[in-house]
Structure 1
Amino acid sequence: MPPIIGGGKTGQLVRETDWSATKLGDYQNWPQSLRSALSLVLNTKGIAALYWGPEQWLLYNDAYSAALGDRHPWAFGRPMPEALPDIAPVLAPQVAEVLRTGTGFAIENLPMMMHRYGQDEETYWTYGYSPIQGEAEGFAGVLLLATEMTQQRKVEAALRDSEEVARADAQRVQLALAAGAIIGTWNWDLPSDQFIIDEAFAQAFGLDPALGREGISLAQITATVHPDDQAGLSDAINTAIERGGSYAHQYRVRRADGHYHWIEANGRVEHGPDGTPLRFPGVLMDVEERREAAERLAESQELLRLAADIGEIGEWHVDQATGAMFWPPRVKAMFGISADVPVTLEDYYNGVHPDDRQATLAAYAAASDPDRRALYEMDYRTIGREDGLIRWVAARGRGLFDAEGNCYRVLGTAIDITARKANEIRLRELNERLEQEVAEQVAERNLFATLVETTDIIILAADFDFNILSINEAAANELARIYGIRPKVGDNLLSLLADQPEHQEQVRAAWSRGLSGEETVIVEDFGDPDHDRPHYEIRFRTLRDTAGKPIGAYQFVTDVTERLREQAQLAEAQEALRQSQKVEAVGQLTGGVAHDFNNLLTVIRGSLDLLRRPSLSDDKRARYLDAISDTTDRATRLTSQLLSFARRQALKAETFDACDSISKLRDMIGTLSGSRVAINLEIGSLPLLVRADRSQFDTAIVNMAVNARDAMDGEGTLTIAVQETNGIPAIRSHAAIPGKFIAVSITDTGSGIAPDFADRIFEPFYTTKGVGHGTGLGLSQVHGFAKQSSGEVVVRSELGVGSTFTLYVPKAADEAPSPVQSDEAIKPLPKGACILIVEDNVDVGTFATQALHELGYKTKLAGDATAALAELGHDGNGFDLVFSDVVMPGMSGIDLGREIQRRLPGLPVVLASGYSDVLAEQDTHEFELLHKPYSLDELAKVLACVSDRERA
Structure 2
Amino acid sequence: MMNWLQSSSDMAERVREHDWASTPLGPLEHWPDVLKTTVALCFASSFPQAIVWGPQLITLYNDAFIPILGNKAYALGRPFNEIWSEVWEDISPISDAAFQGHATYIENFPLVIERGHSREQAYFTFCYSPIRDPDGKVVGILDTVSETTATVFLARRLAVLDAIGLAVTNAADAEAIMTSTTRLLAEHLQVSNCAYADMDADEDGFTIRDNWTAPGSPSIIGRYSLAAFGAMAVNCLRAGEPLVIHDNLRELAPEESASFQALGVTSTICMPLIKNGRLTALMAVHDKSARPWSPYDLALLREVTERSWAHIERVRADADVREGLAAYAELNASLEQRVEERTLALAQAEAALHQSQKLEAIGQLTGGVAHDFNNLLTIIRSSVDFLRQPGLSEERRERYMRAVSDTVERASKLTSQLLAFARRQPLSPEVFDVGLRVQNIGEMLESVTGARIHVQVELPSQACFARIDPSQFETATINIALNARDAMDGQGTLTLRVTGLQALPRIRGDAGSHQPYIAISLADTGPGIAADAVERIFEPFFTTKAVGKGTGLGLSQVFGFAKQSGGNVDVVSAPGQGSVFTLYLPQVEAQDMPSQPPQEARIADHDTTQCHVLIVEDNLEVGRFANQILQDLGYQTTWVTDAEQALSVAGEDAMGFDVVFSDVIMPGITGVVMAKVLRQRRADLPVVLTSGYSDELADDGYEGFEFLAKPYSADQVSRVLLKAMLRH
TM-score (norm 1): 0.36
Q: Bigger relative contact order, structure 1 or 2, given CA contacts below 8 A and separation 6+?
A: 2
Greater Rg over alpha carbons, structure: 1
